[in-house]
C-alpha cells in the first residue's frame, strides 16, 4: 500500500474539518504538517479551529500559522461556514501550541529536510504557497505534487464565474498555477457532486460522526437530508482512491481583475494541470464512510 506523506494547507472551515479528519485517519496518508491561512474565516479563527481539531482527533501533528490576507487585495470571508467557521459544536479549548516559525518557513524546512517525497494539499486560498514559491523559487523541485481544491470550469460559487478559494486570492492562484510544480486540481466540476448526507456522517458511530453532524447543520453548501458538498475531502479521496475520479489534462489561466476576477478559464498557452472532470459519487460516499469508521 502506497503511503502519501502530505502537508495540509487549510482554512477550517466546516468541510475542511472533515477533510482533515479523513486525512489524519486514512491508512494511506501521513500528515506531516498542517498550515493555516485566511479564507473561510479570519486567520485567527482558522488557526484556532485547526488547533481544536488536532486535540479533538487526538494527534500531535505540528501546526504553523500562515498568511492573514491575500497578496494584493483585501480579505473577505465566506458566510457558508458561520461566525466561527465551525459553529454547532462545543470543542475544548486547545492546550497544544503552534510552531514558533511561520507557515512558509515550516513548509520549506520540512520539504528541504524530508527523506521521502512530500505532497502539498491545498484546501484554502493559495497565499501561503504563492509566497513560498516567490521567496524560495528553488523549492519547486522539492514538492512531489500539489493537490488543489479550487477553480471551476462550470461557473462559480462565490460569483457567477469564480470558485471561492481562487477568488479569495486570485493573484496567488495565478502564481501557483503558473509554477512548474506538478498539479492535480479538483474544482466545482466534481466537488459539487461529492455529496454526503447525515446517513454517511453517522455511519461511523463514533464521537467524530456526532461532531460532524452538528457542525454540518450550520453549513450553507447544501443540507444533510439531500447532501452537503464535501469540496475539500475530494483532495484526500483522490490520493487514497484515485479511480473515484476521471481526470483530463487542461491548460488554464486565472483571471486576476474585472467582473470575472478569480475565475479559472481554459487557455491554449495556459498552465498545464491534471483536472478532475467526473466523480463516482457512490464510490466517494463509500470511501468517506470507510475512513469515518476509523476516527475516534
Q: pLDDT by residue (tens digit) across 45-98?
A: 999 999 999 999 999 999 999 999 999 876 565 555 456 779 889 999 999 999
Range of the domain at 79: 4-292
Q: By the 8 A CB rule, do 21 and 134 touch?
A: no
All cell numbers assigned to 154: 462550470
Edge-to-edge strand list for the sheet holding 143-149: 63-65, 29-36, 4-10, 118-122, 143-149, 183-186, 271-279, 245-254, 264-266
Q: For residue range 12-41, list pLDDT tens digits in order.
A: 989 999 999 999 999 999 999 999 999 999
Q: What is the pLDDT of residue 64?
A: 99
* CATH assignment at residue 160: 3.90.245.10
Q: What is the pLDDT of residue 79?
A: 52
Across 72-81, 103-112, 205-214, 273-282, least confident range: 72-81
SS3 helix, strand, coil % of the chain, rounded to 5? 35, 20, 40
What is the set of active-site residues?
Answer: 231
In percent, the amount of the chain with pLDDT more than 90 equals 87
Q: How many domains does the chain have?
A: 1
> Measuring CA to CA, how many Å separate 204 from each of 3, 24, 117, 292?
23, 15, 31, 5
Rounded CA gap, 137 and 145, in Å?
15
Closest to 82 in 3D by CA, of 191, 205, 221: 221
pTM here is: 0.96
- Dmax (CA) for the chain in angstroms is 50
Compute φ and ψ for 220, nearest 5 degrees. -90, -10
Amino acid at each position: 500500500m502506497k503511503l502519501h506523506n502530505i502537508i495540509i494547507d487549510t482554512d477550517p472551515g466546516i468541510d475542511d474539518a472533515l477533510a482533515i479528519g479523513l486525512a489524519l485517519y486514512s491508512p494511506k496518508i501521513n500528515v506531516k504538517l498542517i498550515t493555516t491561512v485566511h479564507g473561510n474565516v479570519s486567520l485567527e479563527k482558522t488557526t484556532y479551529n485547526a488547533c481544536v481539531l488536532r486535540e479533538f482527533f487526538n494527534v500531535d501533528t505540528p501546526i504553523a500559522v500562515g498568511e492573514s490576507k491575500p497578496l494584493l487585495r483585501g480579505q473577505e470571508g465566506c458566510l457558508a461556514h458561520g461566525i466561527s467557521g465551525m459553529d454547532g459544536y462545543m470543542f475544548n479549548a486547545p492546550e497544544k501550541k503552534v510552531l514558533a516559525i511561520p507557515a512558509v518557513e515550516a513548509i520549506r524546512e520540512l520539504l528541504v529536510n524530508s527523506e521521502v517525497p512530500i505532497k502539498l494539499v491545498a484546501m484554502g486560498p493559495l497565499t501561503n504557497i504563492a509566497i513560498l514559491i516567490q521567496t524560495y523559487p528553488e523549492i519547486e523541485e522539492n514538492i512531489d505534487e500539489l493537490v488543489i481544491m479550487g477553480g471551476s470550469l462550470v461557473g462559480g460559487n462565490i460569483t457567477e464565474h469564480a470558485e471561492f478559494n481562487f477568488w479569495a486570492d486570485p493573484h496567488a492562484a495565478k502564481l501557483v498555477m503558473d509554477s512548474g510544480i506538478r498539479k492535480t486540481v479538483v474544482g466545482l466540476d466534481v466537488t459539487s457532486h461529492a455529496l454526503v448526507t447525515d446517513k454517511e456522517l453517522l455511519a461511523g458511530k463514533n464521537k467524530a460522526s456526532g461532531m460532524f453532524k452538528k457542525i454540518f447543520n450550520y453549513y450553507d453548501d447544501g443540507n444533510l437530508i439531500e447532501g452537503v458538498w464535501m469540496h475539500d475531502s475530494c483532495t484526500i479521496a483522490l490520493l487514497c482512491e484515485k479511480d473515484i475520479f476521471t481526470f483530463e489534462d487542461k491548460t488554464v489561466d486565472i483571471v486576476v481583475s474585472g467582473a470575472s476576477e478569480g475565475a479559472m478559464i481554459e487557455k491554449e498557452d495556459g498552465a498545464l494541470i491534471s483536472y478532475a472532470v467526473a466523480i463516482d459519487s457512490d464510490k466517494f460516499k463509500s470511501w468517506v464512510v470507510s475512513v469515518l469508521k476509523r476516527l475516534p
